[in-house]
Chain A
Amino acid sequence: MIEAVNLSKSYNSGAAVAADNISFTCADGEIVGFIGPNGAGKTTTIKMLTGIIRPDSGKVVINGYDMAEKPLDCKRIIGYISDNPDMFVKLTGYEFINFMADVYGVPGNVRAERIDYFAEQFGMEKSVFSQRMTGYSHGMRQKTMIIATLVHDPKVWILDEPMVGLDPQSAFNLKRMMREHADKGNTVLFSTHVLEIAEKVCDRIMIIDTGKLIYTGTMDALKNGEEGGDLEKIFLKMTAEA
């Protein structure tokens, strides 16, 4: 479970507010989509949830652990995919995945099994992992990043634009894996610009604009409101009003 309580964050001595008193809960067994225009505050909020930046005020609680008080316990529970897969590209895929598995203390036999599973899900030949990531395409790096992030089987998935660069089959499989993970009683929070993805996958969505959470609720509740249930029109109207 992810709990964000009154999170605020500003830059340039308060001149630019990236998150303005944001509170929400992502319950166990739930997939929550985080949507908003560019620069709305999605990545800042996600970075606060993962301990990358500290909020000016408010707190983050992951499965009962307070990020400020027990950061390492929180981080062990989280699997975080950043919006930049170009990390450690001088390592081979295997070296990167092994590195992440070591950091999270995944036993050798378990990591091998998981890599087999994920490689199959993402249609990656395992021989690719023996080569350095400098030669990977953006999509291959993204897939390797996802595998390395999920190799420790985290309870809480926090994914920043995870579908970017994925081919349709891999995107479909990732969405299915998100569903299966949530159905096991775990939590998935992901940000996206693609409203169709949010519409198809999420149990609940949160819309953020100019640092403020302007909607939290189910897709059905949102659609039943107005604009004939067209999420795109509703989104555009809400963000224009905000």
Chain B
Amino acid sequence: MRLLIIRRLVSVIMRSNSMEEAGNKKRKAWILGFTAFVLLFVVIPVTVMTGFFTFFLTKGLMQTGHPEFGIKLMYGLISIFTVVFGINVIFNELYFEDDISYLLPLPLKAEELVLSRFLAVFIGENMMQFAVVIAVVTGFGLAHPMNILQWIISLVAGFLLPVIPMAVIAIAGMLLMTFTRFIKKKETVRRISFAIIILILAAGGMMLLSIDISEIVIYIIEGTASNILFVKILDVVFPQSGLIADFMANGSVWPVLVFAALCLLSIMLLAFCARLFYMESVTRLNETTHVQKNASSAMPVVCRNAGMSLFVKEMRILVRTPAFLTNCVAANFVWPVFVLIFAKIMKADLGRAAVSAYYSDPFHRTVAMAVILAVTMVTAAMNCLGSDSFSREGKGFDYIKFIPVSYRLQWNIKTAAAMVWTLAGTVPFFAFFVIYSEFDILSAVITLVIVIASAFFVTELGMLLDSLNPKLFWLDALSALRENYNTVFCMGITIVVCGLLAGGLFLPFPLQVSAGAEAVLLCAADLVLYLISMNAGVRNIKQIGE
């Protein structure tokens, strides 16, 4: 195995996934401004808060004699997120990226290919996570003094935390591809991998449903974890969390040596599996379809006006492209599961009488509205339907310019396509909620206005950001979404705006902004944003590529 080759490959893969710089100075300045904004108002505050949380948690736990329990649980949760978000990315990187077809003819060993792609994903996906790890280590280290060596090793170990879960995913992916080798069509394999991801998420959801909050509290305080399924599974699946936490708390070198050995072992196992399985499983995939004898040759003539045709095209591409289907469409329907899990963990009484009585209290209703606002805005930012609306076009972006349809209409069509999915994932649930909770008519209407107006705000904001510098050079659809700064900017700004709006509902009188006033405020902001879009946004689109 040639390390220099792997290093070169990692560099090439990472560069091909990265975003192009904006074309002109003005746009560069805007992008720099957004970067600074997100760093100042989102990344740094979240990191600092995580640090504080870890500090106080550790301080509290030190009194029980188990300072490592909090950090162990946090590392376990970070590992869960690594798995959840990593499955799709690693599958894609190993099997579905278009550049694989350029690399396969090169005289490279399977393990060189796999390790380089694995490392590229590892570095690309973990930079943001590492900021959280630094905060966690700092918070812990300030509460529970560590020597300089412990600090350094803790940070390095924190950085390497995702190695084992990611390697496990990659190995599982290769095994899956090997055992489904009778399937030749890429599309079918993609569907199967999508179904497996759903199954894993469902299993995770079921596991979380089994959690009892009082047991978790007892676990943290007393360290009696033996009867909690969730914690037991965490310990078995992610042993590295406990090892790192042990080292940080006790300074003993053995846990960290075991952790290093496990990391090395997982990488060696990955290389070994790559040598055995990768080439065989990746080379049998193809996308060439032979004309099916029984395929219909009749032309389905459905005449539509240009706008409707653009809308239908947009929807078809969203639904038929696996990366867009999972990240942009399905993402809208995931949050109710988490709400349900949260309610179950907190042992909330979901009976109608109890819910209705609870939300008859104006304060609780305001809290519900703030949550609804936050869920809608974060969902609209997370699905990135707005913030990658132009990036999604990729190399085909030029068609926007040469078809005889006005830019404004095309913009509006994209907004409509994004809104349909965001609202499909929010309005039915919130409509059900306000009816179930017996909101009065005015509160119900205000709630729905807030949902629609906030979804529009985030979508339009995302489109504006994406129009500044869309990521048009990508080889695979998932790469249009990964390392796309526009989605990060959109999420960052959304979090700040959401914080201000939700916070405004709870300010003391006379500063307090009522929900009705916020609905009006949001509608006014939508109007302003829309006017900016129709002018500056459309102008941005005209100038792309110039």
Given the interface contacts A52-B545, A88-B396, A91-B313, does A102 sit within 8 Å of B306 by beta carbon? yes
Q: Which residue of A lies closest to B393 (CB)?
A: A87
Stretch from A123-131, A162-170, A179-187, A223-231 contacting the other chain = A123-131
Asked whether A217 is an interface residue with its Cβ less than 8 Å from the other chain, the reply is no
Contact A135 B287, beta carbon cutoff 8 Å: yes
Q: How far is the CB of B477 from chain A (nearest CB, A)?
A: 9
Cβ contact of B546, chosen from A54, A86, A95, A129, cutoff 8 A? A54
- Cβ 8 A contact of A98, one of B301, B305, B546: B301
Report which of A78, A91, A103, A127 forms a contact with B296, defined as CB distance below 8 A: A127
The answer for the CA separation of A50 and B396 in the assembled complex, in Å, is 15
Question: B347 at interface (Cβ–Cβ under 8 A)?
Answer: no
CB-CB under 8 A from A235, the residues of chain B are none
List which A134-148 residues lie within 8 A (CB) of chain B: 134-137
Inter-subunit contact A127/B287 (CB<8 Å)? no
Q: Is the CB of B320 within 8 A of A90?
A: yes
Task: From the candidates A76, A101, A127, A136, name the one contacting B404 in the complex (CB within 8 A).
Answer: A76
A86 engages B396 (CB within 8 Å): yes
Q: Shortest CB–CB separation between residue B388 and chain A, in angstroms?
A: 16
Residues B306 and A126 in contact, CB atoms below 8 Å apart: no
Interface size class of B (residues with CB under 8 A): 35 or more
| Alpha-carbon gap, A134 to B476, bound state (A) | 12
Does B287 lie within 8 Å of A134, measured CB to CB?
yes
A112 touching B546 by the CB < 8 A rule? no
Q: Size range of the interface on A?
A: 35 or more
Q: Is the interface of B mostly helix, strand, loop or mixed?
A: loop
Closest to A9 in B: B546
Give chain B residues whose Cβ lies under 8 Å from the Cβ of A80: 402
Q: Are B309 and A103 within 8 A (Cβ)? A: yes
Docked complex: A60-92 residues within 8 A CB-CB of B = 72-73, 75-76, 78, 80, 82, 84, 86-88, 90-91
Report the minimal beta-carbon distance from A153 to chain B, rounded to whole angstroms. Answer: 14
Q: Is B441's beta carbon under 8 Å from chain A? A: no
Inter-chain CB contacts under 8 Å: number: 119
Q: Contact check, A111 vs B301: say whether CB atoms are below 8 A apart.
A: yes
Contact of B402 among A51, A94, A102, A105 (CB under 8 A): A51
Complex-state Cα separation, A134 to B187, whole angstroms: 9
Contact of B301 among A84, A108, A136 (CB under 8 A): A108
Which positions 180-196 of chain B face chain A at CB distance < 8 Å? Answer: 187
B309–A126 CB distance below 8 A: no
- B289-A131 in contact (CB<8A): yes
A103→B299 contact, CB < 8 A:
no
Bound together, the chains give a CA A1 to CA B303 distance in angstroms of: 30
B443 to chain A, nearest CB (A): 42
Q: What distance in Å separates the Cβ of A7 from its nearest Cβ neighbour in chain B?
A: 13
Question: In the complex the two chains form, is B299's CB within 8 Å of A112's CB?
Answer: yes
Q: Is the CB of A91 within 8 A of B395?
A: no
Q: Quick check: A112 and B291 within 8 Å, CB to CB?
A: no
Q: Is the CB of B403 within 8 A of A75?
A: yes
| B522 nearest CB across to chain A (Å) | 34
List 23 A-B pairs, Cβ < 8 Å: A51-B401, A52-B402, A75-B402, A75-B403, A82-B398, A82-B399, A88-B396, A90-B317, A90-B320, A90-B321, A91-B313, A98-B309, A99-B310, A102-B309, A103-B404, A104-B404, A105-B306, A125-B291, A127-B291, A129-B297, A130-B297, A135-B287, A137-B288
Give B contacts to A, CB under 8 Å: 187, 287-289, 291-293, 295-306, 308-310, 312-313, 316-317, 320-321, 395-396, 398-399, 401-406, 542-543, 545-546
Known: A73-B404, A94-B300. 14 other contacts (CB 8 A): A47-B545, A50-B401, A53-B546, A54-B542, A76-B404, A82-B399, A86-B395, A91-B320, A99-B309, A102-B309, A125-B291, A125-B297, A126-B298, A132-B289
